[in-house]
Structure 1
Amino acid sequence: MGKVLNFGELLLRICPDAEGNWLKENNLPFFVGGAELNVATALALWKIPSAYLTALPDNSLTEQLVSYVKGLAIDTTAIQYTGERVGLYYLHQGKDLKNAGVIYDRSGSSFATLQTGTINWDVVLKDVSWFHFSAICPAVSLAAAEVCLEALKEAAARNITISVDLNYRAKLWKYGKEPIDVLPDLVQYCDVVMGNLWAAEKMLGIPVPEGLAEADQKELYLEQAAVSSSALIARFPACKVVANTFRFDEQEGVKYYSTLFSEDELLVSKQYSAKNIINKVGSGDCYMAGLIYGFYQDHPAEEILEFATAAGFSKLFVAGDATTIEADQIKEKVRNYED
């Protein structure tokens, strides 16, 4: 097997405390992240050959960032040096990216201004057997969406396995296109699709019954997971696997489980719950990495599902954007949270 190439924007997450003490203390924590870099970091940590494709300006800050990424055992040779700035976002520690509190500062970044026809795909895709991206990539700008489509066509032409995480970020779709206008053209090339029922509805037009979320019944969610997954595979024949995560933030804590649909069979993971967590950022990325980890090594489907679910849940207890938990420690970390 070759490398797993992760394509997306490297971001700096700036984390002011909710009380504003950072102003008095002159201390503003930050993390290096981005959905696809989080996946790349987890895979490298778990000893899967991991590579990263992004665009960064050619300056001293980039040198430090690339050195940091290399230090995570990630292959950085595919990185494109172009444009003027690194993307940023601001989020209070412990908050969720889907929370209204997130502030993006990504307009005009090197990734957002990346152009088609500028990447040597023969070089970038050499020795790559898996290509991963997320729905955040085409949300950043029309130019990024066009490069994303170019990348998928090139990867598919080389019979590279392609996966997508259907991350929906409402605050990013600001260039005149809706996800439903863009994502179907991209997902047609994907072998593995991960997300949730409502993301598939918003981005791919796979319908979900009205009132399903309000019903809050696991049995109904699982039934719909089978229906939606089957409909997605029927609409996008290249797709062989659909994974759906279910994370519910309730007054008494967080509840988490997931499903994996393949070959007309729906597998359901164990359910985990916790009263107190540290950080919601990157949980889905860690889950996605868990899927790739399992499929890359040709593990049985049930084993893949349980590892990915445990990985995604365990990330809720890690402060940074990417996991720091070794693969052989994942299941032990979550054992006491099984329902």
Structure 2
Amino acid sequence: MVCCFGELLLRFSPIANGEWIRQTAMPVYVGGAELNVATALAKWNVPVKYSTVLPENSLADDIIGYVSSKGIDPSGIVRFGQRVGSYFLPQGSDLKNAGVIYDRAHSAFSELAPGKVDWDAVLQQTSWLHVSAISPALTADVAAACTELVAAAAAKGITVSIDLNYRARLWQYGVSPVDIMPGIVEHCNVVMGNIWAANALLGIPVDADIHVKNQQPDYLNHALETSKAIQERFPRCTVVANTFRFDKVPTGLRYYTTLYTDGQQYVSPELLTDSVVDRVGSGDCFMAGLIYGLYNQHDPQQIVNFAAEAAFGKLQEFGDATNQTIDAITQRQQMITSLL
């Protein structure tokens, strides 16, 4: 079973320019990067449970019921603290955009600390643990608890994956990410991110002028060098994946990804769209596709193609988590392959 660990967040999604006030309405989504991954895996018939911290109140009870309704085992959820974290993101915006407003201070999850959770209980019947770089960004105690968790998982022989999602606005407790994240990644077998996140979080060198060239071969070569550097520095790591997402004027984007394993880099087709419905959760969907393929022991090219198509498809869905089926993703893959 896969266990996804991280903070559950409520996303309030107002219509921009005050329209949410005039309509007296604001959609609310239950999300969080790791829950998004768990939701996709459950949809794709991978046995999965979710671990987070929620308070003992009726709102949290409702949320746990929602998690269960998605086919996710909620047994990894720990109860203490006072509130559920949330954030506000205008519709159509990106989490990396300055428009995001976090309201997660003093959340139940932020009260995590070493020794506070029985990780042996959380990791029961678990063969794969998934975490992200968002959690260690919150506080020094949460970072230490994350390190404690991944070390416990690695000691049990559990496969550990991490998404190097970098949120600069969250790293506010007086340390640099490169002082924290290597101690977590050293326990990981699968690393997903991009060349810029690897630099910000792990100190892996990045070409600051690569955007000037803006050519796919240069980005792919850089992904290869970054992947090799990660594996050399972190010997447990056997798989590195990189994503590339570039905005197109005025509203579209282009997208492609890489997967490096056993000394070879595999590249997905380049995917293009002129419009995007919701950017939130696309990277989580790629991570889920990556875990799905590795968990089921698919071949590397099939894995990176599926994960990229899943992430790309998520861009056309409202909400934090995907509702795409395996068949829908596979059919789009086959259509694209036939055109190449």
Question: How far apart are 1:334 and its partner, in Å?
Answer: 6.1
User: What is the CA–CA distance in structure 2 between the aligned matches of 1:127 and 1:226, rounded to whole Å?
Assistant: 35
Describe the superposition over 1:99-133 as per-residue Cα deviations: whole angstroms up to 9, x where unpaired. 01001011110001112212222221111000000
1:230 corresponding residue in structure 2: 228
Contact between 1:83 and 1:114, CA under 8 Å: does it hold in 2?
no
1:302 corresponding residue in structure 2: 301
1:268 corresponding residue in structure 2: 267
2:39 corresponding residue in structure 1: 41
User: What is the CA–CA distance in structure 1 between the aligned matches of 2:327 and 2:153, rounded to whole Å?
Assistant: 31
User: What is the CA–CA distance in structure 2 between the aligned matches of 1:186 and 1:123, rounded to whole Å?
Assistant: 20
Q: In the alignment, which of 9, 22, 25 is matched to residue 24 of structure 1?
A: 22
Q: Secondary structure at the residue paired with 2:109?
A: coil
Q: Secondary structure at the residue paired with 2:127?
A: strand
Say whether 1:292 aligns with 2:273: no
Q: Which amino acid aligns with 1:296?
A: Y
Contact between 1:291 and 1:305, CA under 8 Å: does it hold in 2?
yes
Describe the superposition over 1:154-210 as per-residue Cα deviations: whole angstroms up to 9, x where unpaired. 100100000000001011011111211110000000000000000001111110122
Cα 1:124/1:165, change in 2 over 3 Å: same
User: What is the CA–CA distance in structure 2 between the aligned matches of 1:336 and 1:280, rounded to whole Å?
Assistant: 23
User: What is the CA–CA distance in structure 1 between the aligned matches of 2:282 and 2:271, rounded to whole Å?
Assistant: 13
2:149 corresponding residue in structure 1: 151
Contact between 1:256 and 1:272, CA under 8 Å: does it hold in 2?
yes
Contact between 1:44 and 1:73, CA under 8 Å: does it hold in 2?
yes
Say whether 1:121 aligns with 2:113: no
1:326 corresponding residue in structure 2: 325
Q: Which amino acid aligns with 1:161?
A: T
Contact between 2:305 and 2:333, CA under 8 Å: does it hold in 1?
no
Q: Which amino acid aligns with 2:177?
A: P
User: What is the CA–CA distance in structure 2 between the aligned matches of 1:243 and 1:214, rounded to whole Å?
Assistant: 23
Describe the superposition over 1:61-89 as per-residue Cα deviations: whole angstroms up to 9, x where unpaired. 00000000000000001101011110010
Unaligned runs of 5+ in 1: none
Cα 1:313/1:335, change in 2 over 3 Å: farther
1:196 corresponding residue in structure 2: 194
**Poorly superposed stretches of 4+, deviation over 4 Å:** 333-339
Q: Secondary structure at the residue paired with 1:256?
A: strand
1:95 corresponding residue in structure 2: 93
Question: How far apart are 1:263 and its partner, in Å?
Answer: 1.2
Question: How far apart are 1:29 and its partner, in Å?
Answer: 1.0
Contact between 1:314 and 1:334, CA under 8 Å: does it hold in 2?
no
User: What is the CA–CA distance in structure 2 between the aligned matches of 1:259 and 1:126, rounded to whole Å?
Assistant: 32
1:55 corresponding residue in structure 2: 53
Contact between 1:106 and 1:140, CA under 8 Å: does it hold in 2?
no
Unaligned runs of 5+ in 2: none
Contact between 2:13 and 2:91, CA under 8 Å: does it hold in 1?
yes
Q: Secondary structure at the residue paired with 2:124?
A: coil
User: What is the CA–CA distance in structure 1 between the aligned matches of 2:330 and 2:253, rounded to whole Å?
Assistant: 18
Superposition pairs for residues 114-193 of structure 1, below 5 Å? 114-193=112-191
Contact between 1:9 and 1:36, CA under 8 Å: does it hold in 2?
yes
Contact between 1:314 and 1:333, CA under 8 Å: does it hold in 2?
no
Q: Secondary structure at the residue paired with 1:186?
A: helix
Cα 1:47/1:34, change in 2 over 3 Å: same
Question: How far apart are 1:331 and its partner, in Å?
Answer: 3.0
Q: Secondary structure at the residue paired with 1:128?
A: coil
1:283 corresponding residue in structure 2: 282
User: What is the CA–CA distance in structure 2 between the aligned matches of 1:104 and 1:234, rounded to whole Å?
Assistant: 36
Deviates more, 1:194-203 or 1:112-121: 112-121
TM-score under structure 2 length normalisation: 0.97
2:12 corresponding residue in structure 1: 14
**What is the aligned-residue RMSD (CA, Å)?**
1.2
Superposition pairs for residues 229-248 of structure 1, below 5 Å? 229-248=227-246
Q: Which amino acid aligns with 2:186?
A: Q
2:73 corresponding residue in structure 1: 75
Describe the superposition over 1:271-325 as per-residue Cα deviations: whole angstroms up to 9, x where unpaired. 1000011011000000000000001011111111111111111110110100000
Describe the superposition over 1:227-276 as per-residue Cα deviations: whole angstroms up to 9, x where unpaired. 11101100000000100000101215210000011111111111100001
Say whether 1:211 aligns with 2:209: yes
Q: Which amino acid aligns with 1:210?
A: A
User: What is the CA–CA distance in structure 2 between the aligned matches of 1:36 and 1:150, rounded to whole Å?
Assistant: 18
Question: How far apart are 1:335 and its partner, in Å?
Answer: 6.2
